[in-house]
């Protein structure tokens, strides 16, 4: 048994605090070690929005290529097992699509959650592929009961019980009237990708992440408020719910931020960014605040962040250098005073880490980047494609 705790890190500051910083590249020594890199989809500009790891170590990566929803399954030995592109026979500009999430089901089929743009109207759709990549089904996620509402711009999709949970923007019949004040609709799907429950959620801010422990779903939002004298404050709200729509836990903490995950169990954390500096909050079962670790001011731009067994943090995302962004990984010590930043090569060919998963080994991760060097001085010899990097953190 483990004690489920959340970790939350607002960025509040200790006056006069010192931080040891090392900005290096991927072949340098330190806490971060590059184990291997493999290029796929050579010569094609692939954008990997999501990545999931099967129990046997296979990877399913999904996103879009040339305006079409795309997914691929890569075996443990690095071989491409299958490749899927939605509606390859459609005229190039008639319909655009993209995949936002990939969930591996218990029968090893894959559920792809995405959005199809027909003209100016987006529609949410789920696609189910067999373990071998054969198309099993496609289903719209528009509500069967309320035809006046369209589920559009699907944002996230996670495993939930035997199926999945997906969330997107709910628009009315005239999207222009609801685009500035949308609601969220969360849809629960069974093992056959059939909808069995759905709920509206009033938007308390910008949805930043969705995750699941298998029995409940956690949503993270960044919002804010103004005081009576006009001062603006940013907040992060974390809420957990199940397919009945019941809210199991709900907490709002000062500062904008993002979730921190654990490799070994389903406990979570948050990194928040109030103006003054870093704080690591440990949250309990109901997201109550248990303790706080304070560090210096730091600005992280994460795609995915983990809390390691030794208490340190690793965050995959991007680093801004000279007005440009490049994909990077940041290690932070348990007391938040020391850090190491590694910028992935080739520099600036990927603006950020697009997706990252645990490899199943402690301190080891797999990172996906869509790299495209076009227009970058001196990068003519760098390849275009999907780059997978295996990384060890200690």
- Dihedral over alpha carbons 340, 342, 348, 350 (to 10 degrees): -110
Please say if the pLDDT value at position 111 is more than 50: yes
What is the reported pLDDT for 393?
Answer: 94
pLDDT at 139 over 90: no
Q: How many domains does the chain have?
A: 1
Residue-wise pLDDT for 7-33, tens only, equals: 444 433 222 222 233 444 444 458 999
pLDDT tops 60 at residue 281:
yes
pLDDT the model gives residue 247: 92
The range of the structural domain enclosing residue 154 comes to 6-393
Asked whether 349 and 376 are in contact (CB, 8 A), the reply is yes
Q: Which residue has the tokens 């190039």?
A: 92
pLDDT band at 34 (very low <50, low <70, confident <90, very high): very high
Structure tokens that stand for 378 in this block: 């001196």
Position 1 in a domain: no
Split at pLDDT 50, 70, 90, the class of 79 is very high
- At residue 191, the 3 state secondary structure works out as coil
In this predicted structure, the answer to whether residue 2 has a pLDDT above a threshold of 60 is: no
> How far is C-alpha 184 from the geometric centre of its chain's CA atoms?
17
- Look at 301 and 145; give whichever has higher pLDDT: 301
Rounded Cα gap, residues 342 and 170, in angstroms: 39
Q: The CATH number of the domain where 214 resides is what?
A: 2.130.10.10
Tell me which of 37 and 91 has the higher pLDDT: 37
Supply the pLDDT for residue 12: 32
Contact at 8 Å (CB) between 231 and 215? no
Cα–Cα dist 111/294, whole Å:
40
Is 25 among the domain residues?
A: yes
Sign of CA dihedral 83, 84, 85, 88: positive
Q: Does residue 134 carry a pLDDT above 70?
A: yes
For 177, the 3-state DSSP assignment is helix
Contact 109, 132 (CB under 8 A): no
274 lies in some domain: yes
**Selection from 149-153, 159-163, 181-185, 370-374 with the highest mean pLDDT:** 159-163
* CA-based nearest residue to 211, from 252, 173, 240: 240
> What's the CA gap between 122 and 153, in Å, rounded?
6
Looking at residue 53, its pLDDT comes to: 95
Round to whole Å and give the CA distance between 268 and 6. 4
148/174 Cα distance (integer angstroms): 9
Residues 63, 46: Cα–Cα separation, whole Å: 7
Confidence at residue 142, expressed as pLDDT on a 0 to 100 scale: 66
Q: Average of pLDDT values for 221-225?
A: 87
Average pLDDT estimate for 303-325 = 87
Q: How confident is the model at residue 72 (pLDDT cuts 50, 70, 90)?
A: very high
Is 290 inside a domain boundary?
Answer: yes
Query: Per-residue pLDDT averaged across 129-154, rounded?
Result: 77
Indicate whether 224 pLDDT > 80: yes
Average pLDDT score over residue span 92-102: 78
d(CA 243, CA 245) in angstroms, rounded, equals 5
More confident residue, 263 or 391: 391
Confidence category of residue 218, pLDDT binned at 50, 70, 90: very high
Q: Where is mean pLDDT largest: 9-23, 137-151, 278-292, 336-350?
A: 336-350
Average pLDDT over residues 111-131: 85
Quickly list H helices, the chain.
175-178
Q: Is 218 domain-assigned? A: yes
Task: Decide if 364 is inside a domain.
Answer: yes
Buried b (16+ CB within 10 A) or exposed e, 134-173: eeeeeeebbbeeeeebbbbbbbbbbbbbebbbbbbbbbee
């Amino acid at each position: 048994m483990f004690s489920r705790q959340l970790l939350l890190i607002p960025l509040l500051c200790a006056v006069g605090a010192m931080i040891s910083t090392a900005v290096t590249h991927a072949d340098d020594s330190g806490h971060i070690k590059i184990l291997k890199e493999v290029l796929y989809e050579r010569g094609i500009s692939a954008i990997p929005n999501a990545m999931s790891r099967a129990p046997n170590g296979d990877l399913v990566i999904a996103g879009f290529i040339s305006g079409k929803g795309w997914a691929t399954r890569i075996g443990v030995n690095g071989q491409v097992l299958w490749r899927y592109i939605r509606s390859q026979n459609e005229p190039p500009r008639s319909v655009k699509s993209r995949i936002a999430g990939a969930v591996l089901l218990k029968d090893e089929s894959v559920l792809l959650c995405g959005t199809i743009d027909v003209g100016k109207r987006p529609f949410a759709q789920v696609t189910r592929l067999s373990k071998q990549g054969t198309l099993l089904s496609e289903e719209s996620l528009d509500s069967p009961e309320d035809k006046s509402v369209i589920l559009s711009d699907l944002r996230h999709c996670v495993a939930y019980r035997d199926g999945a949970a997906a969330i997107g923007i709910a628009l009315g019949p005239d999207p222009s009237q609801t685009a500035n004040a949308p609601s969220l609709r969360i849809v629960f799907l069974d093992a056959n990708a059939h909808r069995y429950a759905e709920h509206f959620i009033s938007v308390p801010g910008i949805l930043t992440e969705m995750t699941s422990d298998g029995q409940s779903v956690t949503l993270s939002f960044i919002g804010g408020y103004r005081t009576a004298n006009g001062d603006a404050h940013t907040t992060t709200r974390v809420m957990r719910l199940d397919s009945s729509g019941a809210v199991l836990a709900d907490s709002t903490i000062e500062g904008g931020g993002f979730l921190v995950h654990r490799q070994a169990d389903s406990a979570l954390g948050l990194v928040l960014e109030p103006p003054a500096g870093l704080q690591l909050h440990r949250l309990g079962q109901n997201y109550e605040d248990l303790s706080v670790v304070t560090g210096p001011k730091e600005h992280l731009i994460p795609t995915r962040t983990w809390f390691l067994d030794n208490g340190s943090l690793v965050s995959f995302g991007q680093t801004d250098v000279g007005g440009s962004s490049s994909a990077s990984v940041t290690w932070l010590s348990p007391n938040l005073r020391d850090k190491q930043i590694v910028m992935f090569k080739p520099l600036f060919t990927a603006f950020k880490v697009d997706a990252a998963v645990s490899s199943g080994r402690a301190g080891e991760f797999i990172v996906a980047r869509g790299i495209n060097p076009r227009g970058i001085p001196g990068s003519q010899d760098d390849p275009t494609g999907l780059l997978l990097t295996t990384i060890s953190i200690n």
